[in-house]
Amino acid sequence: MRATCFGYGALRYNSGFGHNSMSNLIVLGSQWGDEGKGKIVDLFSEKFDVVARYQGGHNAGHTVIVKDQRFVLKLIPSGVLHPGVKVVIGNGVVVDPLALLEEIAMLEKAGVDVRGQIAISNRCHVIFPFHRMVEKVSEAREDRQAIGTTSRGIGPCYEDKIGRRGIRMGDLLNTPIFDALYDMLAEDKATTAKAFGIANDLHLEEIRALYKQMAERIRPLVCDTAKLLNDAIGRGQRVMFEGAQGTMLDIDHGTYPFVTSSSAAAGGACTGTGVAPTKIDGILGVSKAYITRVGAGPFPSEDFTEAGERIRQAGREFGSVTGRPRRCGWFDVPLLRYTAMVNGFDSLIITKLDVLDGLEEIKVCTGYRVHGEVTDEMPAENALMEKVEAVYEMVPGWPDSPTAGVTSYEALPRQAQDYIAYLEAKTGVEVGCVSTGPERNQTIVRAGSKMEKLLDLA
Ligand code: IMP
């Protein structure tokens, strides 16, 4: 079977007349956010005019390697590494201006024209240092279960958003309005700080001054991005919506309360950008050939044995934002079926297949045993989810013929192709793309797949 191999600069998008209008895609993680989306989004970006983030903040960590240079992007969509691609930080994202300016400076140093490419929504909520303070206090409380957050102030900023007392990017740029809103929010945080005996750590007036300074540097980048995106779509341009975190960290559909505070699932792409569901043409899920998770919370197929440690070392599984070792385990079919349902995946991208090289056998979780009963449904309650025991099947590995760096589907060992076919059969979702290493050209899009059509590669 023929397959398309991506090389650096190998893909060119077709804009203008004759452009395929079936083209606005959401790309998001199928599990807990470390699916290797960074490389995929970066690679696919070549085919799009605009790449938009719709939720989360600088808690995300997308690692992209371009010509031996390693970039960890936390807030800015990785599409920025492609000259000419517009990148958007949508209204659903929460922005820490300091983190944003630092990331811009890092990219500018590497020669990227960030300011020429980026647009930030005037409806984004702004993260302040006191959001980190609130998070620290709440994670440390003995009467609460720690979520193991990234300590970036993400959750408390979303709390203020939902509590209708948050400050949006547009407000930050309007001094009298900012001052009034800031006074109200600061009072709120001062009360919290007082209650926890840390009032002296709050430097409210310094923060105000700093934010006003930063606002001036960000001002030229801020606009109504819902309008920008809808205008772009109206002109026939292609937009990719880049999910951060992953479906199981979604505030509604994930393993609540061990989730992030935003709508990471596909539905969030619409609310988080102001682009209607009718404008979305396809949804691509990303999963590793195994599974990892950082932070606390249920993980039915986690492997605590040497095998899990082997995956951690072979896959270099350490969080790109916090450096924490990732928890490692096996592909989980019930979980994937659930995330395919809530997102409506058209096709799957399986990353890091090469990490399984050398294994005689591969474990796959095919069911959950809950209170003695085997089910393939995802329990909603944390109390039940914690009790789930994974039921496994063993699948032959490919101990003697590595997949690392393989660039065509036919050249993959037979057992690796069988593993992919097995995942497709069990999950009911096509695997349209396989990644066999960190480089761009170590990515195979399967000929005849739905993914190939959606990416306009056919
Ligand atoms: P928060 O997003 O910092 O509030 O953290 C909530 C949970 O989401 C914690 O378990 C984090 O480890 C996890 N998390 C947040 N962002 C990411 C990410 O980009 N990848 C993987 N896990 C994440």
Fold of 3-122+224-454: Adenylosuccinate Synthetase; Chain A, domain 1 (3.40.440)
Q: Which long-range contacts (CB under 8 A, 24 or more apart) does 392-396 make?
A: 392/301, 392/330, 392/363, 392/364, 392/365, 392/366, 393/363, 393/364, 393/366, 394/361, 394/362, 394/363, 394/364, 395/361, 395/362, 395/363, 395/364, 395/419, 395/422, 396/360, 396/361, 396/362
Q: Where are the domains of the chain?
A: 3-122+224-454, 125-222
Ramachandran assignment for 50, one of left (phi > 0), alpha (psi -120 to 50 degrees), beta (any other):
beta
The band of 319, judged by pLDDT with boundaries at 50, 70 and 90, is confident
Topology agreement, domain 3-122+224-454 and domain 125-222 = no
pLDDT digit string, tens, across residues 254-302:
999 999 999 999 999 999 999 999 999 999 999 999 999 998 999 999 9
For domain 125-222, is the CATH number 3.20.20.140? Answer: no
pLDDT exceeds cutoff 90 at 15: no
The response to whether residue 36 sits with its C-beta less than 6 Å from ligand 1 reads: no
pLDDT digit string, tens, across residues 154-163:
999 999 999 9
Tell the residue number behind the tokens 């044995």, with chain if given. 305
pLDDT digit string, tens, across residues 44-70:
998 999 999 999 999 988 878 777 788
C-alpha to C-alpha distance for 136 and 201, rounded to whole angstroms: 12
The response to whether residue 262 sits with its C-beta less than 6 Å from ligand 1 reads: no
The response to whether residue 247 sits with its C-beta less than 6 Å from ligand 1 reads: no
In the reported structure, the alpha carbon of residue 425 is separated from the centroid of ligand 1 by a whole-number distance in angstroms of: 30
In the reported structure, the alpha carbon of residue 18 is separated from the centroid of ligand 1 by a whole-number distance in angstroms of: 41
User: What pTM did the predictor assign?
Assistant: 0.94
Q: Is 418 a catalytic residue?
A: no
Relative to beta strand 125-126, strand 62-66 is unpaired
Q: Is 371 a catalytic residue?
A: no
Q: Which of 354, 346, 360 is nearest to 427 (CA)?
A: 346
The response to whether residue 147 sits with its C-beta less than 6 Å from ligand 1 reads: yes
In the reported structure, the alpha carbon of residue 358 is separated from the centroid of ligand 1 by a whole-number distance in angstroms of: 31
Nearest protein CA to atom 9 of ligand 1, as residue? 149
Contacts of 102 (CB under 8 A, 6+ apart): none
The response to whether residue 38 sits with its C-beta less than 6 Å from ligand 1 reads: no
pLDDT digit string, tens, across residues 148-199:
898 999 999 999 999 999 999 999 999 999 999 999 999 999 998 888 888 7
Beta strands in 124-264 (DSSP E): 125-126, 222-223, 239-242
Select which of 58, 62, 125, 131 is catalytic.
62
Q: Which atom of ligand 1 lies at the shortest distance from residue 262's CA?
A: 2
Ligand 1 pocket test, pick from 64, 294, 326 with the greatest ligand atom count within 8 Å of Cβ, gives 294
In the reported structure, the alpha carbon of residue 327 is separated from the centroid of ligand 1 by a whole-number distance in angstroms of: 13
3-state secondary structure of 223: strand
In the reported structure, the alpha carbon of residue 245 is separated from the centroid of ligand 1 by a whole-number distance in angstroms of: 6
In the reported structure, the alpha carbon of residue 326 is separated from the centroid of ligand 1 by a whole-number distance in angstroms of: 11
User: What does the pLDDT average to over 100-108?
Assistant: 97
The response to whether residue 59 sits with its C-beta less than 6 Å from ligand 1 reads: yes
Kind plus residue range of the DSSP H or E element containing 65: strand 62-66
Amino acid 323: pLDDT = 84
Q: Which of 415, 403, 395 is nearest to 443 (CA)?
A: 403
The response to whether residue 150 sits with its C-beta less than 6 Å from ligand 1 reads: yes
pLDDT digit string, tens, across residues 203-261:
899 999 999 999 999 999 999 999 999 999 999 999 999 999 999 999 999 999 999 99
